[in-house]
């Protein structure tokens, strides 16, 4: 400071200042520019979008210091007369008549008026005509800008409850608290919360954003949110597909549960769409001519997949009797072909007709098919036309190539097994290798090697089957149910992207389903549905629904259903699925219920195989809950038992422990934040964030 002593020898031209001289001729009104963001309730419908944009883009000049007044000052004074544009920073209007200044601690500085061109003793720059703080004893004076240096370098932002002070960090990368990334350049620091350090780029993001590009577009304005702590579900960026962190900035539309990273929303370039993880190119990575038998999913008919995998060949048919009925080695009665019988009812859940094939346990929705010829209707054995052609033996089977697999069946339909490929229990036909104790249901035995799915790249990418034990990835998650894929399971993987589907979700979820109380079909949805705000609830089990997982939805009626509850809805078996089992597909989708047999040890009446519901209460044998278990039920007595209490049912094919079937719980991993970057503070020139443009529009979008 004392390098200007030669200038101090000349008495500064100062004079007393009457505070009334600074007063404006009209009354002033204090304006809160962030009034609508007080406590920042991030509600898309709370305020008009245009009002938010206009407010954040506000800018005018202070009539006292000639510096900009912007939205980040939060408060300012303006003239109450509509015809007058007089404006002041709040701190410029409320400057005190005296000042204690660190650069001159020995005396109090007095507010005075100056008209000379002497230099300020603090910043060493020339005064402009106006006011200053002056010590007459030492002839020491500073201009108003230096007196209000802290206020000039302070901003207010709705992301934080305390003021933020501007400083330039030491050259190098520093971590921003809001986005969790490292930046170079200008930062703002909270003097109250030492670890709150924010990059100027993050502070300058617009509160509202319009997103319209060739690849990504949203019809509503997106709102800037400073955390996901209030969100009900795990969310992914709709552009890059990466999971969003709870404590970091996002752009969101609550109406549609549409979330994107700020970087993804504001820095979209044509090349980014090629390199984004989880999405890949939206161009075909295969030629149709090279894949003539490619299965395109999802399909409307649940029986479609197996029908296209079984071709003409040897069957399990011994011959025909004198009436022309087929003699099948897996059934004691002849089978009659049903082709054009108008009196025969096909599978129709709306009418509570459950016609399931005994081989693949899939609905029979069209003719022809075969059924037992017994006229009294006591035998419910039915087969698809293609299921009578299941080969007796499979050689060089993909998941188990070392030994041949032979076709078997449980004749009582009350025994079952657990499929090695999909992990689901089943009581239909199966292929088995007794030497390796390997068993697989017929659906998984003819699982296609390659598929496409409309949920991924609009069916433009091939999904190749990966058999159990051949995976090179340590951690994989099914994109449909968000459950980790076990190494023992078969699944489908896109060779171009980080996209996985387990075989259950890929093959067992049809495109549409129907509800008997809804006149519209429900569509399989792969992401949160448009215009469905707040929580989602399943219409079948009445439990909460996570829209980040695949589910069924009727847009016209705003009804949603767990994908795992869809078969229960069709069969009117509400309550058979517990909350923790609502992952992907219904776990008993490969079980044909209804078989009846006698079990004298358990009960005096015949018992029926059924899915346990909440209304079934407790097991008469062990006292445990029956809900979501396979049970043996006596309808006249209204009592039931767990399936595995009867010794003939106590085991699956090889291992007694296999009757306990359980989904792997998808546990959420919480990342620990790393240590904060060590900082050093250096003085800097005053820098303020400037709000970026609130609209992201692709120049080429009009060409689409």
Cβ–Cβ < 8 Å for 441, 424: yes
pLDDT at 681: 29
Would you state the structure tokens that stand for residue 9, as one six-digit string?
A: 């020898």
DSSP, collapsed to helix, strand or coil, labels residue 87 as: strand
Cis status of the peptide bond prior to 368, with omega within 30 of 0: yes
For range 275-303, the mean pLDDT: 69
Residue 617 in domain: yes
Residue 471 in domain: yes
In 3D space, the residue among 504, 509, 502, 497 whose CA is nearest the CA of residue 485 turns out to be: 502
* pLDDT reading at 655 higher than 50: no
* pLDDT reading at 221 higher than 80: yes
More confident residue, 678 or 208: 208
Whole-number Å distance between alpha carbons of 170 and 673 = 22
Residue 10 in domain: yes
* pLDDT reading at 5 higher than 50: no
* pLDDT reading at 433 higher than 80: yes
Provide, for the chain, the percentages of residues in helix, strand and coil under a 3-state DSSP scheme, each rounded to the nearest 5: 15, 30, 55
Instruction: Please count the other Cβ atoms lying within 10 Å of the Cβ belonging to residue 441.
Output: 26
Would you state the structure tokens that stand for residue 601, as one six-digit string?
A: 């040890």
Domain end position, chosen among 119, 151, 183? 151
Angle at 280 between CA 246 and CA 222, to 5 degrees: 40
Convert the pLDDT of each residue in 539-548 to its tens digit. 888 888 888 8
Q: Are residues 35 and 90 in the same domain?
A: yes
pLDDT at 653: 47
Q: Are residues 556 and 651 in the same domain?
A: no
Residue 178 in domain: no
Cβ–Cβ < 8 Å for 553, 574: no
Q: Are residues 335 and 435 in the same domain?
A: yes
Q: Are residues 522 and 643 in the same domain?
A: no
Burial 489-506 (b: 16+ CB within 10 A, else e): bbbbbbebbbbbbbbbbb
Query: pLDDT category, 276, cuts 50, 70, 90?
Result: very low
Query: pLDDT category, 574, cuts 50, 70, 90?
Result: low
Q: Are residues 373 and 465 in the same domain?
A: yes
Residue 351: DSSP 8-state? G
Query: pLDDT category, 440, cuts 50, 70, 90?
Result: very high
Q: Are residues 70 and 105 in the same domain?
A: yes
Query: pLDDT category, 569, cuts 50, 70, 90?
Result: low
The number of domains in the chain is 4
pLDDT at 78: 95
* pLDDT reading at 498 higher than 50: yes
**Beta carbons within 8 Å of 565's beta carbon, 6+ residues apart:** 538, 540, 541, 577, 582, 586
Q: Are residues 390 and 526 in the same domain?
A: no
pTM confidence score: 0.68
Residue 644: which domain range? 596-659
* pLDDT reading at 572 higher than 70: no
Whole-number Å distance between alpha carbons of 231 and 548 = 12
Q: Are strands 250-253 and 258-260 parallel, antiparallel or unpaired?
A: antiparallel
Cβ–Cβ < 8 Å for 278, 255: no
Residue 701 in domain: no
Q: What is the mean pLDDT of the chain?
A: 78
For range 80-90, the mean pLDDT: 93
pLDDT at 676: 35
Would you state the structure tokens that stand for residue 478, as one six-digit string?
A: 């099914």
For range 11-38, the mean pLDDT: 80
pLDDT at 232: 61
Convert the pLDDT of each residue in 54-77 to its tens digit. 888 889 999 988 889 998 998 999
Residue 278 in domain: no
Query: pLDDT category, 302, cuts 50, 70, 90?
Result: low
Residue 263 in domain: no
Q: Are residues 25 and 66 in the same domain?
A: yes
Query: pLDDT category, 601, cuts 50, 70, 90?
Result: confident
Query: pLDDT category, 670, cuts 50, 70, 90?
Result: very low
Query: pLDDT category, 429, cuts 50, 70, 90?
Result: very high
Residue 68 in domain: yes
Domain end position, chosen among 519, 554, 581? 581
Q: Are residues 565 and 610 in the same domain?
A: no
Query: pLDDT category, 566, cuts 50, 70, 90?
Result: confident
Whole-number Å distance between alpha carbons of 573 and 354 = 12
Q: Are residues 344 and 468 in the same domain?
A: yes
State the CATH number of the domain containing residue 546. 3.30.60
φ, ψ (nearest 5 deg) of residue 40: 40, 75
**Beta carbons within 8 Å of 9's beta carbon, 6+ residues apart:** none
**Beta carbons within 8 Å of 87's beta carbon, 6+ residues apart:** 60, 61, 62, 63, 69, 76, 77, 78, 79
Convert the pLDDT of each residue in 378-388 to its tens digit. 788 999 988 88
Would you state the structure tokens that stand for residue 382, as one six-digit string?
A: 């039915």
Reported residue count of the chain is 704
Domain end position, chosen among 102, 135, 151? 151
More confident residue, 429 or 14: 429
In 3D space, the residue among 492, 487, 520, 521 whose CA is nearest the CA of residue 505 turns out to be: 492
The count of C-alpha atoms lying within 13 angstroms of the C-alpha of 345, restricted to the half-sphere facing its C-beta, is 11
Instruction: List helix spans (H) across 436-483.
Output: 442-445
Q: Are residues 371 and 482 in the same domain?
A: yes
For range 589-597, the mean pLDDT: 88
More confident residue, 158 or 427: 427
Distance of CA 53 to the CA centre of its chain: 28
The count of C-alpha atoms lying within 13 angstroms of the C-alpha of 411, restricted to the half-sphere facing its C-beta, is 6
Tokens 């932002």 found at = 157
pLDDT at 245: 75
Query: What is the percent of the chain where pLDDT is above 90?
Result: 15
Query: What is the percent of the chain where pLDDT is above 70?
Result: 76
Q: Are residues 394 and 471 in the same domain?
A: yes
More confident residue, 276 or 71: 71
Convert the pLDDT of each residue in 103-142 to its tens digit. 888 999 998 888 667 788 888 887 766 788 999 899 888 8
Whole-number Å distance between alpha carbons of 121 and 134 = 10
Whole-number Å distance between alpha carbons of 564 and 505 = 10
Cβ–Cβ < 8 Å for 541, 568: yes
């Amino acid at each position: 400071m004392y390098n200007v002593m030669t200038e101090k020898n000349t008495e500064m031209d100062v004079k007393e200042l009457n505070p009334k001289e600074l007063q404006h001729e009209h009354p002033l009104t204090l304006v809160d520019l962030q009034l609508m963001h007080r406590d920042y309730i991030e509600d898309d419908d709370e305020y008009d979008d245009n009002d938010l944009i206009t407010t954040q883009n506000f800018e005018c000049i202070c009539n006292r210091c000639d510096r900009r007044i912007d939205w980040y000052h939060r408060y300012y004074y303006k003239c109450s007369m509509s015809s007058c544009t007089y404006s002041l920073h709040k701190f410029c209007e409320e400057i005190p008549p005296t000042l204690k200044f660190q650069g001159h601690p020995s005396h109090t500085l007095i507010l005075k008026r100056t008209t000379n061109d002497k230099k300020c003793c603090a910043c060493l720059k020339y005064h402009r005509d106006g006011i200053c703080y002056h010590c007459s004893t030492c002839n020491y004076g500073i201009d108003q800008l230096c007196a209000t240096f802290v206020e000039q370098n302070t901003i207010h932002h709705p992301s934080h409850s305390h003021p933020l002070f501007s400083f330039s960090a030491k050259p190098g990368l520093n971590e921003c608290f809001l986005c969790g990334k490292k930046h170079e350049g200008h930062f703002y620091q909270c003097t109250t919360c030492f670890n709150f350090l924010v990059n100027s780029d993050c502070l300058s993001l617009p509160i509202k954003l319009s997103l319209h590009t060739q690849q990504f577009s949203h019809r509503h304005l997106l709102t800037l949110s400073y955390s996901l702590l209030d969100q009900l579900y795990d969310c992914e960026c709709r552009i890059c597909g990466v999971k969003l962190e709870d404590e970091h900035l996002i752009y969101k539309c609550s109406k549609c549960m549409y979330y994107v990273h700020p970087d993804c929303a504001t820095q979209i370039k044509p090349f980014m769409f090629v390199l984004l993880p989880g999405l890949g190119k939206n161009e075909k990575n295969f030629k149709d001519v090279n894949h003539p038998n490619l299965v395109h999913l999802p399909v409307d008919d649940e029986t479609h997949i197996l029908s296209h995998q079984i071709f003409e060949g040897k069957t399990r048919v011994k011959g025909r009797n004198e009436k022309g009925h087929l003699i099948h080695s897996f059934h004691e009665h002849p089978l009659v072909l049903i082709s054009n019988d108008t009196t025969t009812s096909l599978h129709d859940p709306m009418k509570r007709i459950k016609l399931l094939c005994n081989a693949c346990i899939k609905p029979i929705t069209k003719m022809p098919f075969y059924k037992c010829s017994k006229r009294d209707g006591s035998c419910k054995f039915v087969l698809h036309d293609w299921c009578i052609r299941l080969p007796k033996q499979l050689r060089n089977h993909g998941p188990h190539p070392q030994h041949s697999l032979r076709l078997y069946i449980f004749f009582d339909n009350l025994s079952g097994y657990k499929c090695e490929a999909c992990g689901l229990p089943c009581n239909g036909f199966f292929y088995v290798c007794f030497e390796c104790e390997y068993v697989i249901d017929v659906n998984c035995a003819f699982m296609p090697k390659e598929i496409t799915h409309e949920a991924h790249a609009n069916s433009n990418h091939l999904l190749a089957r990966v058999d159990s034990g051949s995976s090179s990835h340590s951690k994989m998650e099914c994109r449909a149910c968000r459950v980790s894929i076990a190494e023992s399971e078969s699944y489908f993987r896109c060779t171009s992207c980080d996209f996985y589907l387990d075989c259950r979700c890929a093959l067992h979820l049809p495109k549409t389903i129907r509800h008997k109380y809804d006149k519209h079909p429900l569509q399989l949805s792969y992401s949160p549905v448009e215009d469905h705000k707040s929580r989602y609830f399943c219409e079948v089990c009445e439990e909460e629904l996570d829209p980040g997982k695949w589910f069924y939805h009727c847009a016209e009626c705003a009804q949603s259903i767990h994908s795992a509850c869809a078969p229960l809805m069709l069969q009117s078996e509400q309550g058979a699925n517990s909350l923790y089992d609502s992952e992907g597909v219904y776990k008993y989708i490969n079980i044909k219920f209804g078989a009846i047999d006698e079990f004298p040890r358990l009960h005096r009446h015949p018992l029926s195989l059924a899915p346990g519901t909440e209304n079934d209460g407790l097991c008469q044998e062990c006292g445990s809950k029956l809900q979501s278990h396979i049970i043996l039920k006596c309808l006249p007595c209204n009592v039931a038992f767990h399936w595995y209490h009867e010794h003939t049912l106590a085991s699956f094919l090889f291992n007694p422990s296999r009757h306990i079937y359980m989904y792997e719980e998808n546990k959420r991993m919480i990342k620990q934040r790393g240590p904060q970057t060590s900082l050093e503070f250096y003085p800097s020139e005053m820098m303020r964030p400037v709000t970026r443009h609130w609209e992201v529009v692709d120049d080429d979008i009009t060409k689409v």
